[in-house]
């Protein structure tokens, strides 16, 4: 065959015959598709050769130049390019419009969906709806479904975390049935103010909460001091002969020798008496041995005319007023002999009289009591906030292991917003921070050099401690504190590592949310906090004070 193809006539006829047979075969769609695929793969392999690719590009460029000399081809190419650009522009405009509409609809959605298992507030994209039949079809027993779905509804809503564990036939750690559900608050506790709650709580958290500017945000300064106090003594200083409408002015002091009050408010003795009568019947108060004596102290019997105020005065000053004294030493306790600096104070008193210090009852319930560490006091949350826990201890199931961080996450994310108070938020924050410091110190003490344990003699040796400070080993436990040098050192290393891996950034973008101007956020907060749905126009017309309270 090879010898025959040396003949020009035979080779021409053979090529013509092959072309005709190939043309007939290409009428089959499968053969044509397979041949095109084979040719594309062969051409792709050939273009891996740089010399071949260069020659092909030059050949195509020369062929395109020749074709562009024709006016018809040139006009057709212009029309084709214009059509492509127009379609691309329309597609971009449509995409931008769709993106804008999608953004405007997304910002109207908030964490308003409640998980039936953990009771947390979630966004719509994190929730999946089921029915009992759907869960039964997935192989889940009815008893298991009733256990994990604490909130009974026709439609079962499960968040991402709970759904993952439930589908594996596991009870989620943050399931309300594990003992994380709140008790129903009785009416006698719902109406308590902050100071009235302090009078009936066996623990008082001394912490300095300050206002930050005019935006009505709050900040915490200094340390948290957990001081036990006698509830019977607190309640016994209140007169019992008042009716439901009578009020008195009361000041809680850190120490009686201090000039400024820790808390100052107009309270209702009748409400306090009713609340404490309910609490002393609860198991937690019985375990603490809290009882109310019938022998009332008559020390303030001659001063009733000074601290009784009229109902009209009560309406003018129903909000909590605080005169909180702080010092720069976080190790303050009730046994210190030195008084707190009365000049460096932060006061929120509605001072309408010049002789306010001479009006009302003034007493220090925690004076001469030794503070208790919030890490050692196992019932500090329940004893500090009876309005939240209703005098009942949180009972976690024995087979469930929960850290305090997970418990705090469950409380703050729950649909019941009773833990959203400023004092409770700062209390939880300080307790979490103290626990992190304690754990970090424990870990650092186990990080030894030369396989030797750290002894008391070494810690008392000034040279040894100075060596730890010089090597920065004494500061590593502060990495969990966002404002410490150790924290910023860690962030600096992370930033330098990012530079080495990704290179120098070309732009820095800082965004600051103007919450009071964000009407969609106000609508979401009103729905979550007040269980009321309002329109965007109503949200815009709310007063600045109302918006600040919601935020």
Tokens describing residue 356: 């306010």
Tokens of 426: 């700062």
Residues whose CB is less than 8 angstroms from the CB of residue 478 and which lie 6 or more positions away in sequence, other chains included: 437, 440, 484, 485, 486, 487
Contact 248, 359 (CB under 8 A): no
**How confident is the model at residue 247, as a pLDDT?**
79
Quote the tokens at residue 100: 């804008």
Pairing status of strand 361-363 against strand 247-252 = parallel
**pLDDT, position 356:** 46
Residues forming a β-bridge with 209: 220
Radius of gyration of the chain (CA): 37
CA nearest to 201, candidates 239, 234, 160: 234
Query: For residue 192, what are the CA distances in angstroms to 34, 97, 271, 390?
Result: 82, 51, 7, 12
Q: What is the pLDDT of residue 172?
A: 92
Nearest to 182 by CA among 389, 427, 407, 380: 389
Residue 222 DSSP code: E
State the Cα–Cα distance between residues 257 and 516, nearest whole angstrom.
Answer: 42
Cβ–Cβ under 8 Å, residues 391 and 285: yes
Would the pTM count as exceeding 0.75?
no
Spell out the per-residue pLDDT of the chain, length 551, in tens.
667 767 777 778 888 888 888 888 878 888 888 888 888 888 888 888 888 888 888 888 888 888 888 888 888 888 888 888 887 777 766 677 777 888 888 888 889 899 999 999 999 889 999 988 889 888 889 999 999 999 888 899 999 999 999 999 999 999 999 989 999 999 889 888 888 888 888 888 888 888 887 777 888 888 888 888 887 677 766 665 555 557 788 888 888 888 888 888 888 888 888 888 888 888 888 888 888 765 543 444 344 434 444 444 443 343 434 444 334 444 444 444 443 333 333 333 333 333 445 567 788 888 888 888 888 888 899 999 999 999 888 888 888 889 999 999 999 999 988 898 889 999 999 999 999 988 888 887 777 665 566 777 877 888 888 877 777 777 788 888 888 888 998 999 998 998 898 888 777 778 777 888 888 889 999 988 888 888 888 888 888 888 888 87
For position 158, what pLDDT does the model report?
Answer: 93
- What is the torsional sign of CA 16, 18, 19, 23? positive
- CA nearest neighbour of 187 among 274, 245, 273: 274
CA 441 to CA 446: how far, in whole Å? 9
């Amino acid at each position: 065959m090879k010898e025959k193809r040396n003949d020009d006539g035979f080779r021409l006829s053979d090529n013509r015959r092959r072309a005709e047979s190939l043309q007939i075969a290409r009428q089959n769609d499968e053969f044509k598709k397979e041949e095109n695929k084979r040719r594309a793969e062969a051409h792709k392999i050939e273009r891996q050769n740089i010399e071949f690719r260069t020659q092909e590009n030059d050949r195509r460029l020369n062929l395109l130049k020749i074709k562009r000399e024709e006016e018809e081809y040139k006009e057709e190419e212009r029309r084709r390019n214009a059509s492509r650009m127009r379609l691309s522009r329309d597609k971009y405009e449509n995409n931008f419009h769709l993106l804008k509409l999608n953004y405007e609809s997304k910002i109207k959605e908030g964490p308003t969906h409640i998980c039936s298992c953990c009771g947390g507030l979630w966004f719509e994209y994190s929730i999946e709806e089921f029915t009992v039949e759907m869960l039964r079809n997935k192989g889940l027993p009815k008893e298991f479904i009733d256990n994990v779905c604490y909130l009974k509804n026709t439609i079962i809503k499960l968040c991402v975390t709970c759904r993952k564990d439930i589908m594996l036939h596991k009870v989620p750690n943050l399931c309300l049935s594990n003992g994380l559900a709140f008790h129903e608050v009785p009416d006698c506790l719902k109406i308590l103010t902050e100071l009235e709650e302090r009078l009936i709580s066996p623990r008082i958290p001394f912490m300095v909460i300050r206002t930050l500017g005019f935006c009505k945000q709050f900040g915490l300064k200094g340390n948290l001091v957990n001081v036990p106090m006698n509830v019977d003594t607190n309640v016994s200083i209140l007169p019992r002969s008042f009716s439901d409408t009578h009020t008195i002015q009361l000041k809680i002091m850190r120490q009686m020798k201090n000039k400024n009050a820790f808390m100052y408010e107009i309270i209702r003795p009748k409400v306090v008496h009713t609340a404490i009568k309910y609490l002393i019947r609860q198991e937690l108060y019985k375990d603490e041995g809290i009882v109310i004596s019938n022998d009332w102290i008559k020390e303030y019997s001659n001063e009733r005319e000074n601290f009784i105020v009229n109902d009209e005065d009560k309406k003018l000053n129903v909000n909590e007023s605080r005169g909180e004294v702080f010092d720069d030493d976080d190790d303050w306790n009730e046994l210190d002999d030195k008084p707190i600096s009365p000049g460096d104070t932060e006061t929120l008193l509605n001072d309408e009289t010049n002789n306010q210090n001479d009006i009302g009852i003034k007493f220090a319930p925690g004076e001469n009591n030794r503070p208790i560490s919030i890490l050692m006091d196992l019932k500090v949350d329940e004893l500090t906030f009876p309005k939240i826990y209703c005098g009942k201890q949180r009972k976690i199931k024995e087979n469930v292991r929960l850290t305090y961080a997970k418990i705090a996450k469950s409380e703050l994310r729950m649909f019941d917003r009773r833990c959203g108070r400023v004092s409770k938020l700062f209390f939880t924050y300080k307790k979490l921070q103290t626990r992190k410091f304690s754990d970090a110190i424990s870990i650092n003490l186990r990080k030894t050099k030369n396989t030797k344990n750290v002894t008391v003699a070494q810690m008392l040796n000034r040279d040894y401690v100075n060596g730890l400070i010089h090597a920065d080993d004494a500061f590593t436990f502060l990495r969990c504190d966002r404002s410490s040098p150790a924290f910023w050192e860690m962030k600096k290393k992370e930033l330098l590592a990012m530079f080495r891996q990704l290179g120098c950034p070309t732009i820095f973008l800082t965004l600051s949310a103007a919450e009071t101007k964000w009407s969609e956020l106000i609508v979401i907060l009103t729905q979550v906090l007040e269980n009321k749905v309002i329109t965007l126009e109503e949200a815009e017309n709310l007063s600045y004070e109302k918006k600040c309270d919601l935020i």
